[in-house]
Amino acid sequence: MTETIAAIATGLTPAGIGIVRISGPESYTIISKILRGCSRRNGCETGNGTVSSPLSWKPNRIHYGFIKDIDEVLVMNMRAPHSYTGEDTIEINCHGGPYMMRRILDEVLNNGARLAEPGEFTKRAFLNGRIDLAQAEAVIDIINSTNDNAARASVAQLKGSVSEAVKEIRHDILGLTAFVEAVLDDPEHYSMDDMDATLGSMDEGRENIFKGRSAKDALNVVSERIEGLIATYKYGRVIREGINTCILGKPNAGKSSLLNALLGEERAIVTDIPGTTRDVITESLVIDGLTLNIMDTAGIRETDDAVEKIGVRKAYEYAAKADLVIYVIDSTVPMDEDDVSIMKFINEHGIKAVYVVNKIDSTKSGSLPFVGAEQLCCPVSALTGEGISALLSTIRKMFESGDISYNSEAVITNERHVELLKEALRSVKAVIDSINAGMPEDFYTIDLMDAYKSLGLIIGEETEDDLADRIFADFCMGK
């Protein structure tokens, strides 16, 4: 029988309200053992039994009472399957002190529940079929989101945007597999060059990718769809983890001043997001729904000083890994070979860069140094703040993808998903290669089923040994 689990669902810092959550078949029995009532007629007396037995509670109600003599609480009850986990669920709203919440949790545990593992409530929602794996992963992303776009993409994923897109592609792959089987079974009537014969209209209301196409053309459509999803990850990663940004420039160009000016513009420092890889970070700031993780680096110049050399090398190393380089140019001094080497570096590595021409407060616009016409060039004064908001909107435009609407469309933000999509793409391409190479049909189905399986792993319709365990282990307690 399923165990009943419990955990503190809210943060372990003093707060107005804290929630202890119980899920499983014993939830109602447990609350009936520890909740003391408070009747309107007789006044509030703790320890005098419940007013109405929780076992007869109507679902989705709130009841007032006391958990023994520990705390005054509001208890919310949900009946299976209409709860987050899909099981009977009780949520005890108590005062939000860590000590209080622990004492109430102890009572719950002493009366038949076991402590939930991190993510176990969501895992149960998945195992009970309330949500699929991609939706479950969206839950943790929502909790961890640090800006509006990340939150919106995750909420869309929770609503099923990614799952729907993946399911449609899987559906088409399954149809293709069935078709190949038909060709194998009955080559007299079916041909890879014309799919119409077998599969008329597969879906109402959606493009039938088989209609009027050869199998190869249909495969190309499928592979384009997968590529389209993979392409969203470029932006999806950036909105989830932030833009890893490196400020480069010669000493005294105004890098630190610029950093301060940027932070002054938007003082929204965010915390580290688990799972992101950043070995150096000084500050994060949020601009209109995008997070910039700004790495501070040493000034870049030719030098014989051993320590400074290391700093310069590090600066280049960070810059090479960055999503964006902000190259600060001092407009009061002529450009020299150090600037040339920075520009060469940016071009050679193909890094997105904005060229910030600083100190415009003390230069006439006519004397701005030459900057390659194709580069994004922003004149600013880190000192006065002039041009800073224009710089921020330039950066935002560089990373914004106009054709993505986060509310409904699938944006891939999860590395696991993008890797599985790439695997599926390789398999689909392998089928196309086999057709081009004139291989026999039975080769096709193996790769098609591989693609089907890879996509299934995204939504959890296929599972690997400990896949769900690994995913839910990253969750926080009580979720």
- Residue matched to tokens 């415009």: 360
* DSSP single-letter state for residue 4: P
Minimum distance from residue 327 beta carbon to ligand GDP (Å): 11
Min CB(314)–ligand GDP separation in Å: 15
CB of 330 to ligand GDP, least distance (A): 7
| 2 near ligand GDP, rule: CB under 6 A | no
Q: Which stretch binds ligand GDP (CB under 6 A): 157-165, 319-327, 356-364, 418-426?
A: 356-364
x/- map, 194-233, ligand GDP, by CB under 6 A: ----------------------------------------
Nearest C-alpha neighbor of 324 from the set 398, 377, 245, 391:
245
Binding to ligand GDP by residue 362, rule CB under 6 A? yes
Are 475 and 119 a contacting pair, CB within 8 Å?
A: yes
The answer to whether residue 299 forms part of the interface with ligand GDP (CB under 6 A) is yes
Q: Nearest-CA neighbor of 130 among 89, 178, 96, 169? A: 89
Find where tokens 């030719």 sit. 302
Tell me the three-class secondary structure of 348-412, residue by residue. HHCCEEEEEEECHHHCCHHHCCCCCCCCEEEECCCCCCCCHHHHHHHHHHHHCCCCCCCCCCCCC
Nearer to ligand GDP, 91 or 330 (CB): 330
361 binds ligand GDP (CB under 6 A): yes
What's the min distance (Å) between Cβ of 266 and ligand GDP?
18
Which of 21, 225, 359, 417 binds ligand GDP (CB under 6 A)? It is 359
What's the full length of the chain, in residues? 479
Q: In what order do the strands lie in the sheet with 61-67?
A: 35-36, 61-67, 71-78, 89-96, 15-23, 5-8, 114-115
Using the structure block, give the residue that is written with the tokens 């609350």: 31
Site string for ligand GDP, 253-272 (x = CB under 6 A): xxxxx---------------
List of residues 6+ apart from 468 with CB closer than 8 A: 123, 126, 127, 133, 460
Task: Lay out the sheet containing 324-330: strands in order across.
Answer: 283-287, 290-295, 243-249, 324-330, 352-358, 376-379
Contact between 383 and ligand GDP per CB under 6 A: yes
- Closer of 326 and 430 to ligand GDP (Cβ): 326
CB of 250 to ligand GDP, least distance (A): 7
Span near ligand GDP by CB under 6 A; candidates 109-117, 247-255, 442-450, 461-469: 247-255
Hey, how many other C-beta atoms are within 10 angstroms of the C-beta on 403? Answer: 8
User: Is residue 276 at the binding interface for ligand GDP, with CB under 6 A as the rule?
Assistant: no
363 binds ligand GDP (CB under 6 A): no
> Which region among 46-54, 274-282, 338-346, 359-367 touches ligand GDP (by CB under 6 A)?
359-367
Nearer to ligand GDP, 218 or 253 (CB): 253
The minimum distance between CB 296 and ligand GDP, in angstroms, equals 9
Smallest distance from ligand GDP to CB 285, Å: 17
Residue 303 engages ligand GDP in binding (rule: CB under 6 A):
no
Using CB under 6 A, which of 18, 160, 249, 387 touches ligand GDP?
249
**Is residue 341 at the binding interface for ligand GDP, with CB under 6 A as the rule?**
no
37 or 299: whose CB is closer to ligand GDP?
299
Q: Which of 11, 112, 251, 311 binds ligand GDP (CB under 6 A)?
A: 251
Please identify which residue in 208, 358, 413, 454 interacts with ligand GDP, judged by CB under 6 A: 358
DSSP states along 117-186: PTTHHHHHHHHTTSS-HHHHHHHHHHHH--SHHHHHHHHHHHHTHHHHHHHHHHHHHHHHHHHHHHHHH-
Distance CA 90, CA 79 (A): 9
| CB of 315 vs ligand GDP, minimal distance in Å | 11
Distance between CA atoms of 16 and 85, rounded to whole angstroms?
Answer: 25
- CA distance to 47, 66, 179, per residue, from 69 (Å): 7, 7, 68
Q: Are 92 and 68 in contact (CB under 8 A)?
A: no
Between 119 and 249, CB nearer to ligand GDP = 249
Cα(236)–Cα(156) distance, rounded to whole angstroms?
Answer: 12
Residue 381 binds ligand GDP, judged by CB under 6 A: yes
Nearer to ligand GDP, 147 or 381 (CB): 381
Query: Residue 173 in contact with residue 166, Cβ under 8 Å?
Result: no
Q: Which amino acid is at 106?
A: D
**How many CB atoms are closer than 10 A to CB 438?**
6
Per CB under 6 A, 382 contacts ligand GDP: yes
Taking the least distance from each CB to ligand GDP, the nearer of 117 and 361 is 361
**# residues contacting ligand GDP (CB under 6 A):** 16
Q: Which is nearer to ligand GDP, 37 or 249 (CB)?
A: 249
| DSSP letters spanning 181-217 | HHHHH-TTT-BTTB-TTT-S---TTS--TTTT--HHH
Question: By CB under 6 A, which span of 68-76, 281-289, 353-361, 463-471 interacts with ligand GDP?
Answer: 353-361
CB 155 within 8 A of CB 124: no
Binding site for ligand GDP (CB under 6 A): 249, 251-257, 299, 358-359, 361-362, 381-383
